Structure 1
Amino acid sequence: MNEKIEHCVIIGGSSGIGLATARRLVGPAMKVTITGRNEDKLKDAWKSLGGTVGKAAFDATMPNEVRRFFDGLGPFDHLVLAASGGKGLG
């Protein structure tokens, strides 16, 4: 049987709820891409996930950076918004 592999993008996936969500989703039926603004933190999160997920560093508060990311991403099935920060994104 050929099951479709789905793709989940997690904005704010380098820590907290976003990283915990990535840990739960990583597997043979789910491609996961995590994002974060801090490249070192993102790299540590990526390593903790076994280096099996996609990753992209950008500031989710900057519309041009968000647009650039999604323009180059390609198709995806699910989007998790877990971005935060000192002031939050609210």
Structure 2
Amino acid sequence: MNKTIKLNQKKSDHNVYSRKIGRMGNSLGVSFPKLLAEKLDISQGDEIEFVENDGEIILRKARQIELPKNIRLEVLEAFYDVFEEDRAIFDDLKDR
């Protein structure tokens, strides 16, 4: 007889929350516990970021900034595209 148990452990100062993954259209989705959503100040429609970190995923509320009037969005997006393409070069320069 196989039984599955769910362990919600407290690791140092981090609370661990458990949720089942469900299907949302062609994607997978997970709900936020109400307490966690309140702590992160997130609500329906907010954007979150997924950060992959050595086999773990960090979720955080995406920061929204207002662009100064003299900066065009397409120029900023092009800058970020170039930066991402050349990230290895920048990382190498940083380590020197």
Question: Same fold per TM (> 0.5)?
Answer: no
Structure 1 or 2, whichever has the larger Rg, is 2
Greater helix proportion? 1
Greater strand proportion? 1
